[in-house]
């Protein structure tokens, strides 16, 4: 039930929790564990689940293993090979459990919506309803924008951001909520180009869009969807690996091209049409003088929508190396080759050199293409013109840019603020 601007009608959002218990004991499988199972099923990866939920890989692993001990059966299993190159997926029992949970949640959704919509048709405040439905359950109805006349920040704040910002933005969001506890931040990670297309092609509501490449905002969102583009962080390209990668003790900043071109070595990269890390990988290869065509043809089966999706491939040793941002490698405790400034896209003073490399990617309309030229890596953030919660969005961006807020957090997580 969506209200028009100027009315007091409210959308109804559901936020409730279900959990399993054993007789005579406490919670066995709770809301957090169900969320983890959903994300594992969605991305076939524990790393994907951790990044999507803003949790550490170790915390996700511990939650799963502790639940398996209580339940007495495995919830996940690993696999290798195939079209996806391997990963972590739900076990048969885990899949059935998640399906049962999904059906139950759908039934509860329908029941609550039917009751709540009619009762709170014109209520202009937060409401909390307590119900018991064979499981402990709580539901609250809230408006997508609830800033009142006293300027207290409230309501949902929708943020689309680059996958490489998942961990720092989780910390920044948590810090912001401690200051403004009535704001509910809804973050969604994807490739930056895909994030822009959610707005331009899918018409999704969004307050803030943070891109790993500020030019994505310039080319896809301004002037129709946004007015300003604030540069706020830098990064650099790296070749990332782990202790099980083939030739990990041999590879260095001088021979990485030769090592990666070996037939028995595999590597992953992100999709240049969806993610800046994908087209920056191509630009980096051009600047390094590599046989770009050969590099792009090799291991095409390991191309993924966004850079953090590559972590799952490396985690299960489906690939030996991935092209990734240095900050993401630092945040996940991975080894990486620190490349020369002439190829890593880190130094603005070398932009004239970087401009020699270029790549075409899909534009915002079918058949359109965008020419991307090499440039030092700079992240951009914008508030959308039709932001549903503009006051909260403005305060969040102020916090992101503050010395004691976002800039400090970015620095602590391996990313240089600008």
More confident residue, 98 or 341: 341
Last residue of a domain, one of 109, 139, 169: 139
Digit-coded pLDDT (tens) for 301-337: 999 988 778 999 999 999 999 999 999 999 999 999 9
Q: Are residues 106 and 49 in the same domain?
A: yes
Task: Provide the number of structural domains found in the chain.
Answer: 3
The reply to whether 91 falls in a domain is yes
Query: What is the average per-residue pLDDT within 244-266?
Result: 96
In angstroms, the CA 397 to CA 232 distance is 10
Q: Are residues 17 and 130 in the same domain?
A: yes
Q: Are residues 263 and 319 in the same domain?
A: yes
**High-pLDDT (> 90) share of the chain, %:** 56
In angstroms, the CA 238 to CA 324 distance is 6
Q: Are residues 390 and 337 in the same domain?
A: no
pLDDT at 283 exceeding the cut of 60 = yes
Query: What is the average per-residue pLDDT within 172-176?
Result: 95
The reply to whether 366 falls in a domain is no
Query: What is the average per-residue pLDDT within 96-101?
Result: 78
More confident residue, 107 or 15: 107
The reply to whether 245 falls in a domain is yes
The reply to whether 297 falls in a domain is yes
Burial (CB < 10 A; 0-12, 13-18, 19+), residue 27, is middle
Q: Are residues 332 and 348 in the same domain?
A: yes
Q: Are residues 245 and 225 in the same domain?
A: no
pLDDT at 135: 35
* Domain span holding position 327: 237-360
Q: Are residues 194 and 266 in the same domain?
A: no
pLDDT at 101 exceeding the cut of 80 = no
The reply to whether 249 falls in a domain is yes
Q: Are 267 and 251 in contact (CB under 8 A)?
A: no
Last residue of a domain, one of 120, 139, 158: 139
pLDDT at 130: 34
Q: Are residues 125 and 29 in the same domain?
A: yes
The CATH number given to whatever domain includes residue 47 is 1.10.10.10
The reply to whether 199 falls in a domain is yes
pLDDT at 307: 77
Q: Are residues 17 and 132 in the same domain?
A: yes
The reply to whether 368 falls in a domain is no
CB count in 10 Å sphere of residue 29: 23
The CATH number given to whatever domain includes residue 275 is 3.40.190.10
Q: Are residues 214 and 243 in the same domain?
A: no
The reply to whether 370 falls in a domain is no
pLDDT at 86: 58
**High-pLDDT (> 70) share of the chain, %:** 79
Least confident of 90-99, 182-191, 328-337: 90-99
Q: Are residues 23 and 128 in the same domain?
A: yes
**Who's near 102: CB < 8 A, 6+ residues apart?**
none
pLDDT at 117 exceeding the cut of 50 = yes
Q: Are residues 210 and 241 in the same domain?
A: no
């Amino acid at each position: 039930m969506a209200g028009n601007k100027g009315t007091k009608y409210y959308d109804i959002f559901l936020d409730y929790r279900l959990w399993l218990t054993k007789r005579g004991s406490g919670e066995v499988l709770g809301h957090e564990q169900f969320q983890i199972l959903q994300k594992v099923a969605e991305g076939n990866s524990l790393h994907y689940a951790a990044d999507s939920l803003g949790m550490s890989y170790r915390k996700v692993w511990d939650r799963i293993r502790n639940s398996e001990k209580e339940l007495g059966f495995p919830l996940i299993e690993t696999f290798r090979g195939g079209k996806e190159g391997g990963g972590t997926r739900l076990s048969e029992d885990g899949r059935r459990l998640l399906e049962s949970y999904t059906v139950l949640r759908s039934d509860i959704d329908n029941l609550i919506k039917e009751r709540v919509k009619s009762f709170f048709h014109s209520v202009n405040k937060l409401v909390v309803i307590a119900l018991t439905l064979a499981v402990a359950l709580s539901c609250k109805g809230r408006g997508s924008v609830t800033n009142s006349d006293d300027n207290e920040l409230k309501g949902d704040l929708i943020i689309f951001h680059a996958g490489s910002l998942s961990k720092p933005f989780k910390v920044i969001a948590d810090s912001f909520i401690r200051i403004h506890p009535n704001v509910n931040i809804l973050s969604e990670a994807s490739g930056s180009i895909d994030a822009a297309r959610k707005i331009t092609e899918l018409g999704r509501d969004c307050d803030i869009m943070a891109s790993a490449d500020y030019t994505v905002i310039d080319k896809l969102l301004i002037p129709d969807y946004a007015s300003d583009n604030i540069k706020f962080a830098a990064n650099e390209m790296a070749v990332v690996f782990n202790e099980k990668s083939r030739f990990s003790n041999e590879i260095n900043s001088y021979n990485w091209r030769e090592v990666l071109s070996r037939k028995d070595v595999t590597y992953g990269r992100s999709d240049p049409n969806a993610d800046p890390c994908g087209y920056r990988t191509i630009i980096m290869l051009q600047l390094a003088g590599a046989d770009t065509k050969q590099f792009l043809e090799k291991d095409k089966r390991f191309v993924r929508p966004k850079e953090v999706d590559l972590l799952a491939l490396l985690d299960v040793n489906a690939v030996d190396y991935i092209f990734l941002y240095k900050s993401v490698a630092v945040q996940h405790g991975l080894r990486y080759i620190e490349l020369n400034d002439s190829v890593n896209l880190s130094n603005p003073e070398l932009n004239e050199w970087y401009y020699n490399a270029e790549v075409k990617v899909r534009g915002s309309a079918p058949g359109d293409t965008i020419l991307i030229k090499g440039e030092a890596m700079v992240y951009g953030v914008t508030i959308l013109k039709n932001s549903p919660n503009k006051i909260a969005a403005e305060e969040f961006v102020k916090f992101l840019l503050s010395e004691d807020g976002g800039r400090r957090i970015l620095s602590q997580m391996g990313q240089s603020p600008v």
